[in-house]
Chains A and B, each alone.
Chain A
Amino acid sequence: MASITLSNVRKSYGTTHVIHGIDLTVHDGEFVVIVGPSGCGKSTLLRLVAGLEEITEGTVEIGGRVVNHLEPKDRDIAMVFQNYALYPHMSVRQNMAYGLKMRKMSKADIEKRVNWAAGVLQLSDLLDRRPGQLSGGQRQRVAMGRAMVRSPAAFLFDEPLSNLDAKLRVQMRLEIKRLQQELRTTSLYVTHDQVEAMTMADRLVVMNAGVAEQVGTPMEIYERPRTVFVAGFIGSPNMNFLPARLRGGMLELGQGLLVECPNAPAGTDGRDVTLGIRPEHLVVAKQGEPADIQFVVHMVEPLGAETLVHGRFNSVETNVALRLHGTPNVWRDAHLPLRLPPDALHLFDPASGVRLTE
C-alpha cells in the first residue's frame, strides 16, 4: 500500500524534451489512468515511474520514499506490458514465480502465492503450459498474475489491452477493474483508448505533448474539459467546435445567427471564442417548442441504440455531429430545429484553447 507522487517530472533525450514537468499524486489504492494520443509521452512517464528510464528533472516518490535513483527492482512495483512480456521459454508457473524466486522467497511461499493468483485469475489448469500455447486473453491474465504474486506497492499498466480484440478488451477491462478493487493496490494505467480511460479510472490524467492538460475524475473531465484538446479527446463522437463571437449575452455564430448564452463569463463581451458542444447535448426541439438553430442533415449513421447525424447549422460552414436516441425518422437534406441547452455550451479561448466558462 503506497501512494505515488510526481513533482515537476521532466524528461529529455539530448535537446528533445518529451515530458514538460508533470505533477501528479496517485493516492493509496487509487486507480489513475493516463490517457493521450500516441507520442504524447504517457508511456515514457510510466517508464520513469518504473525506473526503466532515468528522470531528467524532478522527483518520483513511491510510498513516501524518493526513488529517482533506485533500480526498478527496488521500487516495489510491478508492471504489465502491452505485449505481455512473458518469458516464452518458461511455463506459466515459472513465469509467475520468477520475480519471487529472484527475491529469494521460500519454495513453499512461492507455491502458495502462485496458486492463489492462478485461482483468482482462473489459470489453475494452465500452469504448466508455455505462453505460446495460450490465447491472448490468457496471456494477459498471466501477465496480471505475475504482477499480483509480488503484492507490490503499485501496479503499472502500459496499454495492457491494446493487443486484444474488441470483445476481449471489454471483458478484460472489467476483470482488471474488479481485481484492482479487490486488491486495493495503487495503480497507474496508461492507455490511448478514451473509453478504457473513462470506464476504469478513479481519476484521469489527459496528456498532450508531454503536458498533463487536465487531471480529474472522468465525469469532471467530461463535463468541464479545461482545454479544447481535452474536450476533443474525451467523448465519442468528438465534441463539435465552432468559431463564435460573444455579444451582449448572446453568441453569434456565422452571419447574424444568435444563440442565447447566459453563462458567458464577465468581461468577455465582444470577444471571439471557440464554442464547444457535445453531439449528445444537441436536442431536437419538440413540436411547438422554440428552436435556437436550424440544422441541415448531410448524412445519417444509424447504430441501433442511437443514430449519428452529420450536417451543418444553417449558414455556418463547420461540420457538426448530433447523437440522437434510437432511430428517429431523419433523412438527408432534412431540416431539424435544434435547441442548445445553455449549460451544455463550452466556451474556449481560440488562441490558447483554455476554457472560459466556469
Chain B
Amino acid sequence: MRPATASTSNALTFTSLRLPSLETLAAWLLALIWIFPLLYAFWAAFHPPAFMVTFDLTAPLTLSNIIDAWTQAPFARYYLNTFALVTGVVLAQFVVCTLAGFAFARFPIPGKNLLFMLVLIQLFVFPEVLIVENYRIASELGLIDTLTGVGLPYVASAFGIFLLRQTFKTIPRELEDAARIEGCGWMAILWKVYVPLAKPTYLAYGLVSISHHWNNFLWPLVVTNSVESRPLTVGLGVFSAPETGVNWATVSAATLLSIAPLLVAFLLFQRQFVQSFLRSGIR
C-alpha cells in the first residue's frame, strides 16, 4: 500500500500546481491499454487490408470487411443462437434464483444455513474445473450440441441466489404479513411483494449475467459441434482459427459484429452497468 500513499501526497502537491495527479495519469494509461484492442479492431474492420499496420488518417474507409465476414460465416444463425441462449439462461436463472433465494430468505427449513453455505461454496469453484464432469452429465442427458446443454450448467447460479436472498431479507416482514391477511398465498406474496421490490437487484444481476453469457467461450466450445447450436463466441473462434489463415481485417470485422449488441447495450445502460458491477462486487 505504500506507493499509493506516496502518490496521494504527490497528488496533493500536483493538484495545487493544476497538473493531473499520478492517479489520473495512471487511470488514463490503463484506460488506453484497455481500449487499444477495441480501437484497433475498429481501425482494421473499416479499412482495406493494406492499411492493417499503416496508420494513415487519410486511408479510405470501407465496409467490405464487414460484408466479407458476414458472408463467410453463418453469423445470422450465431446471433440467433447467442440471443436464444442468453435469454433462456437469464430467464431460467431468474426463476430458479428467485425461488431458491426466497426459500433461503424466508422459509424455516431445518439445516437452512448449512445448505446455503453449500450453495455459496459454488462461488469458489471455477466453472472450468467442472468441464469434464459437466460434459459427462450433459452427454448422459443427451444434451451435447444443444443450446440447453450450453445453458443448463449456469441455471442454478449461486451468485444469483445469494444476491436475491440478501435483497429479500431486507424487505420488511410486515409487508408479507399484510399480504397474508389480505389473502395472498406464498406464490402471490412472492410475485406481488418480493419480486417488484427487488427490481433493482434483478436489473443488476440481469446485466451481469447477460454480459457473462454473451462472452462465455470455453464451455460452449466444448459442448457444441454444429452451426445450429454454436453461439457467437464459438463461431468467431472457429472463424478466426489460425489454420484457416488469418485475415485480420475480416477477423476484426467479425469480432465487432459479435460484440456490437453488447457494446450498444453498454453505451445505453452504462451507468446501470457500472453500478451493478460495483454493487454485486460489494455484496
Contact = CB atoms under 8 A, between A and B. Distances in A.
Given A89-B196, A89-B197, A103 B183 contact: yes
B175 A87 contact: yes
A54 B172 CA distance: 20
Given A52-B177, A81-B174, A85-B177, A99 B197 contact: no
B221 interface: no
A98 B180 contact: no
B180 A73 contact: yes
Interface string B124-141: 000000000000000000
B178 interface: yes
Contact of B183 (A50, A52, A87, A102): A102
B143 interface: no
Interface in B160-204: 172, 174-175, 177-184, 188, 192-193, 196-197, 199
A98 B182 contact: yes
A50 B180 CA distance: 10
Contact of A73 (B172, B174, B175, B182): B182
Interface in A274-322: none
Contacts of B196: 87, 89
A85 B183 contact: no
A322 to B, nearest CB: 43
Contacts of A98: 182, 192
A102 B180 contact: no
Chain A, interface size category, equals 20 to 34
Residues of B in contact with A, size category: 10 to 19
Given A85-B172, A99-B183, A102-B184, A79 B178 contact: yes
Interface string A92-133: 000000110011000000000000000000000000000000
B172 A71 contact: no
A47 B177 CA distance: 9
Interface centre among A52, A85, A98, A146 (most CB of B within 10 A): A85
Contact of A71 (B177, B178, B180, B192): B180
A183 to B, nearest CB: 18
A50 B179 CA distance: 12
A342 interface: no
A71 B188 CA distance: 15
Contact of B197 (A52, A88, A150): A88
A82 interface: yes
B182 A85 contact: no
A72 B180 contact: yes
A53 to B, nearest CB: 10
A50 B197 contact: no
A73 B184 CA distance: 8
A303 to B, nearest CB: 36
B178 A81 contact: yes
B181 A78 contact: yes
Nearest to B188: A102
B186 to A, nearest CB: 11
B180 A52 contact: yes
Given A73-B183, A87-B193, A88-B197, A79 B172 contact: no
A98 B196 CA distance: 15
A77 interface: yes
A123 B87 CA distance: 43
Contacts of B183: 73, 99, 102-103
Contacts of B188: 102
Contacts of A79: 177-178, 181
Interface in A152-195: none
Interface in A60-82: 71-73, 77-79, 81-82
7 contacts: A73-B184, A81-B178, A85-B178, A87-B178, A88-B197, A99-B182, A103-B183
Given A73-B180, A99-B182, 13 more contacts: A50-B177, A52-B180, A52-B181, A71-B180, A72-B177, A72-B180, A77-B181, A81-B178, A87-B178, A88-B197, A89-B199, A102-B184, A102-B188
Which 7 residue pairs of A and B lie closest in terms of their CB atoms, listed nearest first? A99-B182, A73-B183, A85-B174, A102-B183, A85-B178, A89-B196, A81-B174
Interface of B: 172, 174-175, 177-184, 188, 192-193, 196-197, 199
